[in-house]
Amino acid sequence: MALSLVVTPFAMLLELVICVLGFYLGYTKKKAYGYLFAVTFLLFALFDYLGQAGLDADSLATVNLVAVLAALAGMYLVLQDK
């Protein structure tokens, strides 16, 4: 338990850094997958925060599913990029 009190906030910070980089990629390079990865990692950070706040498992599962679908769409666009 004590380790998660340190690791989770650090992971959330890194997720938010990746989110900002994704928005930067989307805006500067005009790549839609940058926005999708930004949304993915924003939702992962939200998932971590809400998990710490004690949100019910069904709501957390929904947030996680939407994040994974955004990542899947982003990866599809990366693979289609030439």
Question: pLDDT by residue (tens digit) across 55-72?
Answer: 999 999 999 999 999 999
Contact 46, 38 (CB under 8 A): no
CA distance 79 to 1: 39
Instruction: Say how many C-beta atoms besides its own lie within 10 A of residue 22's C-beta.
Output: 22
Long-range pairs, 48-51, Cβ under 8 A, ≥24: 48/8, 48/11, 48/12, 48/15, 49/12, 51/8
Mean pLDDT within 7-12: 94
Q: What is the reported pLDDT for 2?
A: 85
Query: Residues 15-71: pLDDT tens digits?
Result: 999 999 999 999 999 999 999 999 999 999 999 999 999 999 999 999 999 999 999
